[in-house]
Amino acid sequence: MNDLPIKPINPPLDQQVKYEFVRYCRGIGLDLGYGKERAFAHSVGLRLRGDEGDAVPNVKVDDLTKLDSVIPGSCDFLLAADVLSHYEDAPAAVKDWLSRVKLDGHVCIYEPKGSSMSTLLTVAETIGDGLDILRLRQWGDGAFMILQRKESGFSFSYVKPRPEKTACVVRHGGFGDQLQAAYLLPELKRQGYHITFLTTPLAREMVEHDPHIDEWFMVDHNQVPNHELVPFWSVVSKNYDKFVNLNESVEGTLLTLPGRPSHQWPHSVRHSLMNRNYAEFGAMLAEIKFVPEGKFYTTPEEDGWCKTFMQEAAQRADLDRPFVILWVLAGSSPHKFTPHQDTILKMILGSLKQAIVVMVGNEACRILEQGWEKEKRVTLTSGKMEIRKTLALAQHVDLVVGPETGVMNSVCYADVPKVIMLSHSSHENLTKHWNETKVIQGIAPCYPCHRLHYSSEYCPQDQETHAAICQQNVDPRLIYGAIEHWYEGWARMQLVRSAA
């Protein structure tokens, strides 16, 4: 077997500095320079006419400092590496570049050799209006500067005092992943950290209103290719006192990934090594004590919408005060649904007279809703309800039922009754510290498999229902019994309140 070259974590300085630009180079932008290499694949390369380099896509121009072919205010960012020093009138060049970006857009300048912070500062001060210097730093033998275009004024944000203690928490991935990461923030805040949360715009939605987050570091999807993430994190981490990288803290470590050798390890080995609590392990990576805390933060508008939604669902069911069950139909993987859903729903509607069911899920879950369209005690929302509304609703209902999903994670420490159907995770992995939870564990020789599944290759399925056998083998009466337990407790409280 031939040895493969190992890419160093610390690439050359001119490659490293682009990672300092990542948060300022989102959206649609320009890359000014020489040769074929662009810093970011999503940028448009502007190259001098006659330059032998081949940037793809590219636009040929006669002057990199007078971008007459670019509509003013049309770009989110402009990146110029090793360009400014090739032109005599540097302030005029930067002024032209600023005019091409939108208000609050960014101009990122890097001069690799023979430049200094004082030189770049002089250029910016000469322009003097309509910009803010966000970053200014010596970098090797050169320097870089990040400007933000403003409507008017001239400011020096880069000289603002740095918080005494800084932490950056990094988490890409799904909705539940963001919430699990955010649940570590209260303890970090108690330790006095100013917290930056590094994630993608879609993932940010889950923790948008968390009061423990002081600053956002946004990275667009695939803005930094997967093979560059490690050097990117290595560079960014140097800007913080504590860098908590939770990527692969669960997937790849405690849940094996398809295509990796650990995915094919014997079940006993996987269970021995990976049967540990996800939340505790995250706290360990953050080097903080584990505290079972955290919540999904709703807005007053979302809370108001939830109350209206539940009132309308009650009216359709002709019930004054129903027992509202939020049923999460499926997760993002093939093993995350129960084939006994319809059987259990019939038992609920037949025996629990005050219960109504709200079905939630993505567009694909609409097939699981078929047959319930005319039942007035069942509300069908799959593919219709925004994810934040779903998570907000979970905070208000009387019971949440579902497989391992982000919705269940949103109420894990809340005093909201839950019935969760575990599939690839064990109770130790996921629900060990959850409040008010009835846990239905999978039943199969392979449970818990500690594997991520994107197909059925390593997830045996029932031939008739196409459900994972660990879900197929669960007696539906077990799930119904857990639901009935919460219903009976609720019913007793209703009697107490009515008698008071």
* Residue 267 in tokens: 């079940």
Region 52-81: mean pLDDT is 84
Residue 98 in this model has a pLDDT that exceeds 90: yes
DSSP 365: G
Region 360-364: mean pLDDT is 93
Residue 2: per-residue pLDDT: 46
Region 297-305: mean pLDDT is 97
DSSP β-ladder status, 166-170 and 242-245: parallel
Please report, for the chain, how many H helices and E strands are present, in that order: 15, 18
Residue 5: per-residue pLDDT: 52
What is the tens place of the pLDDT at every residue in 221-237?
A: 889 999 999 999 999 99
Handedness of CA 221, 224, 225, 231 (dihedral sign): negative
Among candidate residues 482, 329, 351, the one with its CA nearest the CA of residue 419:
482
Region 98-104: mean pLDDT is 96
**Longest Cα separation, the chain:** 88
Report residue 164: phi and psi, to 5°: -60, -40
| Model confidence pTM above 0.85 | yes
What is the tens place of the pLDDT at every residue in 244-291?
A: 999 999 999 999 999 999 999 999 999 999 999 999 999 999 999 999
47, β-bridge pairs: 33, 60
What is the tens place of the pLDDT at every residue in 157-199?
A: 999 999 999 999 999 888 889 999 999 999 999 999 999 999 9
Residue 115: per-residue pLDDT: 85
Other CB atoms within 10 Å distance of the CB of residue 252: 13
